[in-house]
A and B are shown apart, each in its own frame.
Chain A
Amino acid sequence: MARTTSKTVRAKLNGIEVVVPEGTTILEAAEKVHLKIPTLCKHPDLPPTAACGICIVRVKGTNQMPRACCTPLEEGMEIQTHDPEIVEIRRKVLELILSKHPNECLTCGRNGTCELQSLASDFGIRQQSLPSIVPDLPKDESTRTIVLEPRKCIACGRCLTVCQELQNVWALSFLERGIDTRMAPAGDILLADSPCISCGQCSAHCPTGAIFEYDETEKAWELLRDPDLHCVVQIAPAVRVAIGEAFGYPPGTNLTGKLYAALRYMGFDTVFDTNFGADVTIMEEGTEFVKRFQDNQGELPLITSCCPAWVDFMEKYHSDMIEHFSSTKSPHEIVGVLTKTYYCDRKGLDPSKVRVVSIMPCTAKKYEIQRSDDMFASGYQDVDLSLTTRELARMIKQAGIDFASLPEGECDPMLGLYTGAGTIFGTSGGVLEAAIRTAHKLLTGEEFDSLEFQPARGLEGVKEGRLTILGREVRVAVAHGMGHVEDVLDRVRAAKENGDEPAYHMIEVMACPGGCIGGGGQPYGITDALRLQRAKGLYTDDREREFRRSHENPYVQGLYSTFLGKPLSEKAHRLLHNSYKPKPTYRR
């Protein structure tokens, strides 16, 4: 929350004196002095909805019990965060919530990660003390990316705030009121018929199992069990620095080697890396940029298109931007199509017997793998299955792998060896930074002297920067979190209408706040601190790579010299590029 005042308030929490800026909530002040007030509806990413009432505290000298999440601390206040009566009230609140919640923990996808379950455990709830009135509402699996189970909804409002405010998508809403309040797409339609872009941020913020990724782990095991199939797997950049959280590693720990080993242990025949695909994306997209920037072939700014939720959002709401979009496919689609053409050809494999599984931080990738005919460029479905980081973590546990003691493994370098430019794709600003590294070389024949482009880094919703190439100013922007993109697009449109110089030359957009490291399919508990730690893990990986520019990747060079020819060649076009079409949906 923005606080412009420099005034402070002095107050006491459980007798501990605190001095905090005016406007600080009781909850925030308590966190500062390490007092743990239980919360349920409050999420660190979101403004308080004050829906659940579990964070009530006592203000001494009054009979008030305000909610700590939304009540600012006032001068001289004496707050009691815990006493037997407060605990008893919190327990009652919890029992009320549980009376509306199905008792299905054992078969729920959130078993073990559910915030409601964990509170019930902390409070030692041993019986259902109130009559159960679970609403009879159907499950919605229509998107095949995320699943709505409104029966399990506790009406905290997080998903709505995420969908409406953070992402500006407005697919989810509350219908009805009071005890009948339920989460549903606007007007009670199927989620697939709503403007949902499958970003999955709702599922990453839901405290219970009411919104969950479409689980396809069973399908993955089936592929691995089939002796006639050659199973290929690839991992996205952001997965390696987040999956450790599911195994007790500090956030941001880079577990690439262990992941390679675990995937082989699970039975994958070939282990590739999406980072390699990112390097190829840069070769194609960088060349697209050069054509537009130098040869005036095509519209500027060039807008990145590797985020499928963003592509869907653009096709639905901003289809006037289609000609600005890079036609290059996303990295995992590139690895998919190259597996079933180049790799199969070199290894003498029958592509009809090859299956490609992508491990992604993303729920929208489940949609992307069938989004258009372009995703079948090899003659087969290029990527057969897309699993989220969370699904892979479960599969690793099912496989009985002791992750901690696993030795580091290697990938298959042909479509696996990657550069630092490929790995930073996983964080907001990384695609742009990687593109600059290669575009500079393509335009000038010389390497960009400072590899790291700081203006593209960090968590600011819109980041802008300038650099000079061949004496010309290049203006770039990065937007992440769908709620931030429209300001940038409006600037592009305004410049166009006024006949001005383009507002920017290149724009990177990622649907999820922080980029893929904060993706909708990543381990739970996302906060800005966590986003920064995961991003740091990728920037460290970048610094430690032998090669840090996509065009330096020897296997990428080999791919072009022996198979594709050069970037944007006819073959590259056929396999590595795709087109977009307006998908008019109803207005938000």
Chain B
Amino acid sequence: MAEKDLSADVALAVRKWQKKRGALIMVLHEIQGRLGYVPREIALELSKQMNVPLARIYEVLTFYNFFELEPPAKYVISGCMGTACYLKGTPQIMQEFSRLLGIEVGQTTPDGRFSLTTVRCVGCCGQAPVVLINGEVHSKVSPQDVPHLLAQCKD
């Protein structure tokens, strides 16, 4: 992003929220909503415009699991760890993803294509265990399905 755009984009989000209590969190939400994460340049710009120390911004960013500091992968694979899915074998499924992708849960592949995360109950326990790939639900997944699911993630 060009420097000018960046500063203007941040200014927009700041202007919208700055009068409200807890503005910093709302602005961070808005930025993450648009970019999928909060890049360092934005955090720096935000510090300048909101007059909040960078240290404070990162205290907030790292306190809440919701905020991401790295760009999201092209394919975000989330295993459901709700009680039903957990009992039906999500841990084994995630282990298989880990083995094939060479990354742990919470990490992103070096090429930026895949990241592995877990989520709490997504509300379709009848389909357990479920895996979400970019928000799309895959039902009754077994470790044997993992290579096939990855193969569907083209380019």
Residues of A within 8 A of B (CB): 164, 170-177, 185-188, 586-588
Which residues of B have CB within 8 Å of A588?
A: 47, 53-55
Assess whether A175 is in contact with B62, with CB atoms less than 8 Å apart.
yes
Which residues of A have CB within 8 Å of B40?
A: 187
Per-position binary interface string of chain B over residues 37-54, scored 1 when its CB falls under 8 Å from any chain A CB and 0 otherwise: 000100110011000011
Assess whether A187 is in contact with B43, with CB atoms less than 8 Å apart.
yes
Which residues of A have CB within 8 Å of B59?
A: 173-175, 186
Q: How far is the CB of A174 from chain B (nearest CB, A)?
A: 6
Q: How far is the CB of B11 from chain A (nearest CB, A)?
A: 15
Which residues of B have CB within 8 Å of A171?
A: 55
Assess whether B58 is in contact with A186, with CB atoms less than 8 Å apart.
yes
Residues of B within 8 A of A (CB): 40, 43-44, 47-48, 53-59, 61-63, 69
Which residues of A have CB within 8 Å of B56?
A: 170, 173
Assess whether B53 is in contact with A170, with CB atoms less than 8 Å apart.
yes
Assess whether A170 is in contact with B54, with CB atoms less than 8 Å apart.
yes
Report the nearest B residue to A184, measured CB to CB: B58
Assess whether A186 is in contact with B63, with CB atoms less than 8 Å apart.
no
With beta carbons under 8 angstroms apart, the residue of A164, A188, A586 that contacts B44 is: A586
Q: How far is the CB of A184 from chain B (nearest CB, A)?
A: 9
Sample 28 A-B pairs with CB under 8 A, ordered by A number.
A164-B53, A170-B54, A170-B55, A170-B56, A172-B55, A173-B55, A173-B58, A173-B59, A174-B59, A175-B59, A175-B62, A176-B62, A176-B63, A177-B63, A186-B54, A186-B57, A186-B59, A187-B40, A187-B54, A187-B61, A188-B58, A586-B44, A586-B54, A587-B47, A587-B48, A587-B54, A588-B47, A588-B54
Q: How far is the CB of A434 from chain B (nearest CB, A)?
A: 35
Assess whether B53 is in contact with A187, with CB atoms less than 8 Å apart.
no
With beta carbons under 8 angstroms apart, the residue of B47, B61, B63 that contacts A586 is: B47
Interchain CA distance A216-B11 in the complex, whole Å: 47
With beta carbons under 8 angstroms apart, the residue of B55, B61, B69 that contacts A164 is: B55
Which residues of A have CB within 8 Å of B43?
A: 187
Which residues of A have CB within 8 Å of B63?
A: 176-177
Interchain CA distance A543-B43 in the complex, whole Å: 53
Interface residue SS majority, chain A: loop
Interchain CA distance A176-B64 in the complex, whole Å: 8
Interchain CA distance A172-B59 in the complex, whole Å: 10
Which residues of A have CB within 8 Å of B58?
A: 173, 175, 186-188
Interchain CA distance A586-B55 in the complex, whole Å: 11
Which residues of A have CB within 8 Å of B55?
A: 164, 170-173, 185-186, 588
Chain A to chain B: the 9 pairs with minimum beta-carbon distance, closest first = A173-B55, A186-B55, A170-B53, A175-B62, A588-B53, A186-B54, A170-B55, A187-B58, A186-B58
Interchain CA distance A566-B40 in the complex, whole Å: 52
Q: How far is the CB of B111 from chain A (nearest CB, A)?
A: 22
Q: How far is the CB of A548 from chain B (nearest CB, A)?
A: 44
Q: How far is the CB of A189 from chain B (nearest CB, A)?
A: 9
Interchain CA distance A587-B47 in the complex, whole Å: 7
Which residues of B have CB within 8 Å of A176?
A: 62-63
Report the nearest B residue to A168, measured CB to CB: B53
Interchain CA distance A58-B41 in the complex, whole Å: 49
Interchain CA distance A185-B53 in the complex, whole Å: 12
Report the nearest A residue to B54, measured CB to CB: A186
Report the nearest B residue to A187, measured CB to CB: B58
Report the nearest B residue to A173, measured CB to CB: B55
Report the nearest B residue to A160, measured CB to CB: B55
Interchain CA distance A164-B53 in the complex, whole Å: 9
Report the nearest A residue to B41, measured CB to CB: A586
Q: How far is the CB of B98 from chain A (nearest CB, A)?
A: 19
Interchain CA distance A587-B53 in the complex, whole Å: 7
Interchain CA distance A174-B48 in the complex, whole Å: 20
Report the nearest A residue to B44, measured CB to CB: A586
Interchain CA distance A529-B57 in the complex, whole Å: 36
Which residues of B have CB within 8 Å of A188?
A: 58
Interchain CA distance A301-B58 in the complex, whole Å: 37
Q: How far is the CB of B27 from chain A (nearest CB, A)?
A: 16
Which residue, of B40, B57, B58, B61, has the highest number of chain A Cβ atoms within 10 A? Answer: B58
Q: How far is the CB of A162 from chain B (nearest CB, A)?
A: 13
Which residue, of B40, B43, B55, has the highest number of chain A Cβ atoms within 10 A? Answer: B55
Interchain CA distance A332-B62 in the complex, whole Å: 42
Interchain CA distance A175-B69 in the complex, whole Å: 12
Report the nearest B residue to A172, measured CB to CB: B55
Q: How far is the CB of A55 from chain B (nearest CB, A)?
A: 25
Interchain CA distance A177-B55 in the complex, whole Å: 14
Interchain CA distance A587-B44 in the complex, whole Å: 7
Interchain CA distance A172-B58 in the complex, whole Å: 10
Q: How far is the CB of A150 from chain B (nearest CB, A)?
A: 13
Q: How far is the CB of A34 from chain B (nearest CB, A)?
A: 38
Which residue, of B40, B47, B54, B57, has the highest number of chain A Cβ atoms within 10 A? Answer: B54
Interchain CA distance A176-B58 in the complex, whole Å: 9
Q: How far is the CB of B108 from chain A (nearest CB, A)?
A: 16
Interchain CA distance A185-B55 in the complex, whole Å: 7
Report the nearest B residue to A180, measured CB to CB: B62
Report the nearest B residue to A588, measured CB to CB: B53
Q: How far is the CB of A182 from chain B (nearest CB, A)?
A: 9
Which residues of A have CB within 8 Å of B47?
A: 586-588
Q: How far is the CB of B61 from chain A (nearest CB, A)?
A: 8
Which residues of B have CB within 8 Å of A187?
A: 40, 43, 54, 58, 61, 69
Interchain CA distance A473-B40 in the complex, whole Å: 50
Interchain CA distance A186-B56 in the complex, whole Å: 8
